[in-house]
Amino acid sequence: MSKKQLGLILLAVVIGGLWLYLYSDWFMRQRIQIHTRLLPPTLARLQKRLPASVLGKTPGAAPMMFEWDRMLKLTDVEVIPLSALQTNQYASDVWHLVSDSNSPPTRGLIYGESVPGMRPATKGLEPESLVEGEKYRFVIRSGKLKAEHDFVVGSLNPQ
């Protein structure tokens, strides 16, 4: 094989590798899409599973359900008020769970609900009630993946 042929083959490999890098999803970082929805607070199963602090303080506020696009083994779950984040980089969260070991894969959870394989970051601390009309940031981590979703707590009672 001549030097010219070897150079052309090498150039084709470099161009092919560059095309794969720029125009394929192989090297893209995976993104998690999170969705929220309101759940009726009158569901009997929710009243048994959720702490009284989540359902009792804010009449009319509905529990929030968080869902994402694939099964994830969660290592960290947080809900932080956006107003606190804008004034303080290290804002205190209203709900924070961490995984001690392997949590089972899940596609969603309900705010304030105990999640299998996870425990509160601060021992004995219960989730605070979400305030209707307030903006919050929901953050999940699964290994190296991290996703954030901003949401506003709504009401099921029309005014």
125 touches 112 (CB < 8 A):
no
Amino acid 46: pLDDT:
56
| 146-158 burial: b if 16+ Cβ within 10 Å, else e | ebebebebbeeee
**Three-point CA angle 145, 146, 148, nearest 5°:** 155
User: In what helix (H) or strand (E) does residue 54 lie, and over which residues does it extend?
Assistant: helix 52-55
Q: Is the pTM of this model over 0.95?
A: no
More confident residue, 86 or 108: 108
The CA radius of gyration of the chain, in Å to the nearest whole number, is: 22
Amino acid 43: pLDDT:
58
User: In what helix (H) or strand (E) does residue 99 lie, and over which residues does it extend?
Assistant: strand 95-99
- The pLDDT-based confidence of 158 (bands split at 50, 70, 90) is very low
Q: What is the pLDDT of residues 62-86, one digit of tens each?
A: 578 899 988 889 999 999 888 887 7
Where do the structural domains in the chain lie, given as residue ranges? 1-29, 34-152
Q: What is the pLDDT of residues 131-152, one digit of tens each?
A: 888 889 999 998 888 889 998 8
Amino acid 5: pLDDT:
92
* Residue the block writes with tokens 């999640």: 115
Question: With 90 as the cut, is the pLDDT of residue 12 above it?
Answer: yes
Q: What is the pLDDT of residues 23-65, one digit of tens each?
A: 876 766 667 888 888 776 555 455 556 555 555 444 444 578 8
SS3 for 9? Answer: helix
- To 10 degrees, the CA torsion angle through 25, 31, 32, 33? -90
